Structure 1
């Protein structure tokens, strides 16, 4: 007996699979849906930026789905395929200028970043009222654009971040990844969507996956180029590897390890979309850090050991000269070098710089200190008769931590 063929096209199955594992990004979706609904308070132009693998293209695909369900004409432009000139952009996106209620989505804008001034000054102002534009790329917009009062109320800029822990866990669950491996995968990826996708695929293939899962050396060469792009020179790559190994990297650290071009290398590091800036220096996103570390350990173990020794000597020297106010930070930087040592990691919890502050201990804080001691060391600790000496008290900025 003949059987009927499935109806529809393969694209329908692709869309259903992607929709099944789409998690998070509710704030961005809400803003876009408000614009689709014609909310007068909504922004018609959105600029999304973030490092490779952060989920920009995935979010744009979801915007396409939402826009088509709302009955909008969708015009998609990919910076990788168009000629990066005004004429090339007009050829790909010019239809939006004459289409009422068009939704224009521009992906991989970093490939045609040279058009930024022309785009904001010439192209976008010609769009009809009711049009919606989303531009996505790795680089932040020109500060002159965001400072232009003319774009107030018209432009919304979003720095896309890693998925929140609950969303990342929901993604792994949707992919069918065993629950006992979630902690290891979340620790390695830091919630980076690309790293999560690759790690989930590997975990699903390995039936013997343990809670201590680590990526194989086969996946790192695939992941790294997508996370960090191209590095200009071996010196830049070395600076990036130092940044991955140290908790926070300063220009002083680079100068101690790399001599004369430290200012140039530090400026390059802080400009990368996968690097965060703090008052103490810069540090890479978790997935980038872990991938760089794993790659260097495997590719050049002697080079990794030499770099570790250099950074170790630097931080020991810092501790010897640190003031009392800086001692905790200097000691933490040294201890962080041993974060892979289970004996060390069991007793230390590293958070992003700025989540913990130091303040002098005062008698009025006694009950709070005893409460923290009990939570960390058990109920017997506060009962031991211990009295805090005058010193520094480390306080989480988040009261729930």
Structure 2
């Protein structure tokens, strides 16, 4: 016994406890065990899906334990870690398969060869025994989904069980194809029933019936909420009689948890992390404006409600929102200070063109910080999970039916939303006729023919079609159509020849988008409205020029102005109503106009950009390679992450970092980040 590894004993006990607190999933576990026990894993896909916090990842962890108990191999892949390319997928899978040969580095840009290598390695493992490949957070897979289904999965051999987990059930071609549909085993996860909650609480030491009834009423069986309640000891500090009925369960969780944090510095870090959303040691140090020691940071990220992502660490969404709400009430000036530093930080990411996908992530979050209260109230007040789906043959009839339903079921809509921060009430109306104006010249086949990317479908978390977007890419092959058809022609006919020539780009390198319409069944429904708004935000940040128009009613035009769009002078159309002139709105962030836009949007929150020369002065002593490293340092990336991004060794990156510190007269990354942002902003 004395020679037993203590870490192994702890690990075994942790695994046992995890299994003990997994309740209400007996049916799903039995099904998976039956699959493992079969003589061979024939071709099939288990599609595990359900809303956020329902326990998908927790159940996948149990699948891992069962797989390892059966002496099989379990490979877990988080789809948030990919950049949407087969290259990134294959490299990550090879890493998880413990593939160390340098051969992969020689075929980095040969996707076919890299895929073949990846398949060979996974088949080698499958020949040695059963193998389970689990893809989690599949809603983040993006355009890689087509390659995965039509190329990678088709070449897998028997003996490999695929598990695809995400918020949404698999849709589109997965269902329209009888073959794929036959191979799918749907496994929806819902909230726990009363008996499962009772069992969970009993195993947590809570057996009083009154407390069990109270917790059941408050959580409705939502697994994450239930876990947070128990982990923060809420039931010991609150009783059913103490419930004021005014605050949400998450505000209670935040208050009780913060009382348990006796160290004020740790509390400050948690509050900053809640405002920052994504963080790492350097970025957190910048926001709190002090050096965060490594030991303190390690303790921080050791909490169960903090998890690692591709871009750093985050607090769980529910707890983060609750802490932010509590901080705004208790210390509004501190909250405002943290907010502005976050906005400055994301501003730097917005202007950092070398960061690829991470810049896209920063831009999406930046809108949250710089958008006015209207934008945050209409589109960010609640988490919304939706999926954009390209138009194709399998969903064509469904799309046509959507348009027919919009005409058949058109009705007046009243949008009433209250800002939780200020208490301000927003109220807008859209008549049935106004809601259909965008479809007046919309022809599905025509939009698809000019560019197959023009039409996107908006699906909710149940996979139901709830909206449609027409966002036409602007390039050489679409300009003729845009110049001669309503509602686009009046805008493009007003451009000079030189301006038109600037828009003549290839199909792949689009010059911009004309957002013709983003429609949902019901704009008064918060979830549908949020999905429409975030679809608009995603498009407006994806290209340098965005042009749009909408019925001349306050709801749409106020939103355009809040996003920083400018009304086009002396250019209107009568495509919706021959008696009512409708204006165009444009957002142009091409070239130097990006910084002009950023300055215009940050001015209302008290952030002033200094001269453009300052950044150049700051980096003028650096070599070209050192500037590339510097840009990633201010993003907060580790030496290893920079090495992978720039195809350098970690030792070379360390040498560049040392040179940067010496030339900029700083001794740490935190000092470097602070100097950069203090130089950039007033």
Q: TM-score, normalised by structure 1?
A: 0.56
Which residue is 1:362 aligned to?
A: none
Q: 1:20 to 1:283 in 2, by over 3 A?
A: farther
- How many angstroms does 1:4 deviate by? 8.3
Which runs of 5 or more residues in structure 2 are unaligned? 94-117, 244-248, 255-273, 275-314, 322-363, 369-374, 385-408, 417-426, 437-455, 467-521, 528-682
Which residue is 1:149 aligned to?
A: 178
Within the candidate set 76, 86, 96, 2:122 is matched to 96
Which residue is 2:168 aligned to?
A: 139
- How many angstroms does 1:7 deviate by? 6.2
Report the Cα distance in structure 2 between the residues aligned to 1:11 and 1:274, rounded to whole angstroms.
38
Query: Greater Rg, structure 1 or structure 2?
Result: 2
Within the candidate set 250, 255, 263, 2:414 is matched to 255
Which residue is 1:110 aligned to?
A: 139
Which residue is 1:234 aligned to?
A: 377
- How many angstroms does 1:178 deviate by? 4.3
Q: 1:9 to 1:90 in 2, by over 3 A?
A: farther
3-state DSSP class of the match of 2:18?
Answer: helix
Would the aligned equivalents of 2:174 and 2:181 in 1 still touch at CA under 8 Å?
Answer: no
Q: 1:149 to 1:24 in 2, by over 3 A?
A: same
- How many angstroms does 1:259 deviate by? 3.0
Which residue is 2:460 aligned to?
A: 271
Would the aligned equivalents of 2:44 and 2:161 in 1 still touch at CA under 8 Å?
Answer: yes
Report the Cα distance in structure 2 between the residues aligned to 1:227 and 1:150, rounded to whole angstroms.
43
Larger relative CO (CA 8 A, sep 6+): 1 or 2?
1
Answering whether residue 221 of structure 2 is matched by residue 195 of structure 1, we say: no
Answering whether residue 263 of structure 2 is matched by residue 219 of structure 1, we say: no
Which residue is 1:17 aligned to?
A: 17
Would the aligned equivalents of 1:31 and 1:42 in 2 still touch at CA under 8 Å?
Answer: no
3-state DSSP class of the match of 2:141?
Answer: helix
Q: Once the two structures are superposed, what CA deviation does each residue of 1:142-182 show, in whole Å capped at 9, x if it has no partner?
A: 23212311124421122211112211221111112242211
Question: In angstroms, what is the RMSD of aligned CA positions?
Answer: 4.3
Report the Cα distance in structure 2 between the residues aligned to 1:176 and 1:104, rounded to whole angstroms.
36
Q: How does 1:154-193 map to 2 (within 5 A)?
A: 154-179=183-208, 180-193=210-223
Would the aligned equivalents of 1:98 and 1:128 in 2 still touch at CA under 8 Å?
Answer: no
Q: 1:206 to 1:54 in 2, by over 3 A?
A: closer
3-state DSSP class of the match of 1:23?
Answer: coil
Q: 1:37 to 1:187 in 2, by over 3 A?
A: same
Which residue is 2:291 aligned to?
A: none
Which runs of 5 or more residues in structure 1 are unaligned? 242-249, 285-401
Which residue is 1:56 aligned to?
A: 56
Report the Cα distance in structure 2 between the residues aligned to 1:268 and 1:181, rounded to whole angstroms.
45
Q: Once the two structures are superposed, what CA deviation does each residue of 1:19-67 show, in whole Å capped at 9, x if it has no partner?
A: 1111111222122112111268987311112121010000000000111
Q: 1:275 to 1:19 in 2, by over 3 A?
A: farther
Would the aligned equivalents of 2:211 and 2:235 in 1 still touch at CA under 8 Å?
Answer: no
Report the Cα distance in structure 2 between the residues aligned to 1:268 and 1:195, rounded to whole angstroms.
31
Which residue is 1:69 aligned to?
A: 69
Would the aligned equivalents of 1:24 and 1:163 in 2 still touch at CA under 8 Å?
Answer: yes
Would the aligned equivalents of 2:47 and 2:164 in 1 still touch at CA under 8 Å?
Answer: yes
Report the Cα distance in structure 2 between the residues aligned to 1:6 and 1:225, rounded to whole angstroms.
35
Report the Cα distance in structure 2 between the residues aligned to 1:71 and 1:30, rounded to whole angstroms.
18
- How many angstroms does 1:183 deviate by? 1.3
Count of residues in Structure 1 that have an aligned counterpart in Structure 2: 271
Within the candidate set 186, 203, 210, 2:239 is matched to 210
3-state DSSP class of the match of 2:8?
Answer: coil
Q: 1:78 to 1:153 in 2, by over 3 A?
A: same
Q: Once the two structures are superposed, what CA deviation does each residue of 1:58-114 show, in whole Å capped at 9, x if it has no partner?
A: 000000011111111111112233443211111223443442221111112222233
3-state DSSP class of the match of 1:76?
Answer: strand
3-state DSSP class of the match of 1:133?
Answer: strand
Would the aligned equivalents of 1:77 and 1:105 in 2 still touch at CA under 8 Å?
Answer: yes
Report the Cα distance in structure 2 between the residues aligned to 1:12 and 1:73, rounded to whole angstroms.
18
Q: Once the two structures are superposed, what CA deviation does each residue of 1:185-234 show, in whole Å capped at 9, x if it has no partner?
A: 111211111011001223x3553432346536253686654799988843
3-state DSSP class of the match of 1:219?
Answer: helix
Would the aligned equivalents of 2:42 and 2:160 in 1 still touch at CA under 8 Å?
Answer: no
3-state DSSP class of the match of 1:46?
Answer: strand
3-state DSSP class of the match of 1:255?
Answer: strand
Q: 1:205 to 1:134 in 2, by over 3 A?
A: same
Report the Cα distance in structure 2 between the residues aligned to 1:6 and 1:240, rounded to whole angstroms.
42
Q: How does 1:240-319 map to 2 (within 5 A)?
A: 255-257=414-416, 258-259=427-428, 271-272=460-461
- How many angstroms does 1:133 deviate by? 0.9
